[in-house]
Amino acid sequence: MAKINFGGVEEEVVTREEFPLSKAQEVLKDEVVAVIGYGVQGPGQALNMKENGINVIVGQRKPSKSWDKAVADGFVPGETLFEIEEALEKGTIICYLLSDAAQIELWPTVKKYLTPGKALYFSHGFGVTYNDRTGIVPPADVDVFLVAPKGSGTSLRRMFLEGRGLNSSFAIHQDATGKAQERVVALGISVGSGYLFKTDFKKEVYSDLTGERGTLMGAIQGIFAAQYDVLRKNGHSPSEAFNETVEELTQSLMPLVAENGMDWMYANCSTTAQRGALDWWKKFRDAVSPVFEDLYDSVAKGEEAQRSIDSNSQADYREKLEVELKELHDSEMWQAGAEVRKLRPENN
Ligand SMILES: NC(=O)C1=CN([C@@H]2O[C@H](COP(=O)(O)OP(=O)(O)OC[C@H]3O[C@@H](n4cnc5c(N)ncnc54)[C@H](O)[C@@H]3O)[C@@H](O)[C@H]2O)C=CC1
Ligand SMILES: CC(=O)[C@](C)(O)C(=O)O
Ligand SMILES: [Mg+2]
Ligand SMILES: [Mg+2]
């Protein structure tokens, strides 16, 4: 483990230099890694492991779109693609990558196949942390750990194919075999993580639920909509409002933040913009801090987890999500955005 000073706080991380793929392959050489669930994380992790030389199989419902996708991706029925219970039987490491709500429903089946010495792998601390609501309590004689890619499974795969890596957190909930650390780190490297930082199941899920409702997804849509609406209410055209709210950020400014931090992005804007941004960012921070306090409180109380369980356990959960996603898609802001994207030189 490398010790890195993050802004004055020393943390332990695992880098690909100290734990190369060859070491991961050696650790996992006698394992059968069964990926249960082929939605977003499943394909990214299974394909990256497969191409990293790991013995990976996929377990999916049949017939299903996910089964067909796994076949299209090169997993072979009866050889590397099985129905869920057969994959659970064959797997020595069970990667539980169904949706968090679906993990609850299938848990009684999965638990039957967790025989002594096997490992149960998650990509989210949700099921174990909120086990009073999920019922997911693993048997004591199996390893239980997680690797949580800090990004979409789609990005995990794309970055792997580009020779890059998405950072992941890892955590150990149970070390029944004494090999949990090497198993989980080997898996983290094999699924295509850039580097791995250590956390625990509770901190992973509390931070993740906060992040996806906050700056990563929920809050950004909220702040985009607020600025767009004010610009439009004051007579600015849809294209001007969208460019000033989203397009410039994603195409020009956020890549500068990703490259070298916020001050670097500011320094590459006008002094007029720098003065204004430095004057206003604390006002926005103070305005939204109470909302983030409420959000974290709701996460910590389990309210966000219960809402996710209640809504995503319904038979028509996908249809209901799609109705709300369509409302976003059909909004003037994102309709304007579709036209702006078409005008990008690379799209003409
Ligand atoms: N989506 C992402 O990129 C990320 C997901 N995660 C975590 O990874 C895990 C998997 O997440 P996703 O891939 O997004 O899941 P998902 O929502 O895409 O579902 C995964 C699979 O579960 C199947 N499924 C749904 N209900 C089922 C049921 N009742 N019985 C059997 N199969 C069912 C779906 O058909 C799909 O193939 C979750 O714990 C999630 O929190 C972690 C980081 C990012
Ligand atoms: C992509 C990711 O990290 C999320 C937002 O936490 C998720 O998909 O659950
Ligand atoms: Mg996340
Ligand atoms: Mg998440």
The ipTM estimated for the assembled molecules is 0.95
Right CATH for 2-199 from 3.40.50.10490, 3.40.50.720, 3.40.449.10, 3.40.1000.10:
3.40.50.720
Residue-wise pLDDT tens digits, 282-330: 999 999 999 999 999 999 999 999 999 999 999 999 999 999 999 999 9
Q: Which residues pair with 285 in a beta bridge?
A: none
Hey, is 6 helix, strand or coil? strand
CATH number of 211-347: 1.10.1040.10
Residue 154 alpha carbon, nearest atom of ligand 1: 3
Q: Which ligand is nearest to the CA of 42?
A: 1
CA of residue 332 to ligand 1 center, whole Å: 30
- Residue 346 annotated as part of some ligand binding site: no
Is residue 348's pLDDT more than 90?
no
Question: Where in the chain do CATH 1.10.1040.10 domains reside?
Answer: 211-347
- Residue 73 annotated as part of some ligand binding site: no
Residue 148 alpha carbon, nearest atom of ligand 2: 3
Residue 2's pLDDT band (cuts 50, 70, 90):
confident
Question: Where in the chain do CATH 3.40.50.720 domains reside?
Answer: 2-199
Residue 118's pLDDT band (cuts 50, 70, 90):
very high
CA of residue 151 to ligand 3 center, whole Å: 6
Is residue 20's pLDDT more than 90?
yes
Is residue 41's pLDDT more than 90?
yes
Q: What is the mean pLDDT of residues 103-115?
A: 98
Percent of the chain with pLDDT over 90: 97
CA of residue 101 to ligand 1 center, whole Å: 8
Is residue 115's pLDDT more than 90?
yes
Q: What is the mean pLDDT of residues 28-34?
A: 98
Tell me what the pLDDT averaged over the chain comes to. 97
Residue 63, preceding peptide bond in cis (omega within 30° of 0): yes
Residue-wise pLDDT tens digits, 180-201: 999 999 999 999 998 999 999 9
Is residue 12's pLDDT more than 90?
no
DSSP 217-271: THHHHHHHHHHHHHHHHTT--HHHHHIIIIIHIIIIIHHHHHHH-HHHHHHTS-H
Is residue 219's pLDDT more than 90?
yes
Q: What is the CA radius of gyration of the chain?
A: 22
Is residue 75's pLDDT more than 90?
yes
Percent of the chain with pLDDT over 70: 100
Residue 273 CB contacts under 8 Å (≥ 6 apart), including other chains = 266
- Is 124 one of the annotated active-site residues of the chain? yes
38 CB within 6 A, ligand 1? yes
pLDDT of residue 42: 97
Is residue 245's pLDDT more than 90?
yes
Q: Best of 169, 199, 207, 212 to mutate for ligand 2, by most ligand atoms within 8 A of CB?
A: 212
CA of residue 130 to ligand 4 center, whole Å: 14
Residue 212 alpha carbon, nearest atom of ligand 2: 5
Decide: 238 and 209 in contact? Cβ < 8 Å: no
Q: Distance between terminal CA atoms of the chain?
A: 48
CA atoms of 161 and 48, how far apart (whole Å): 8
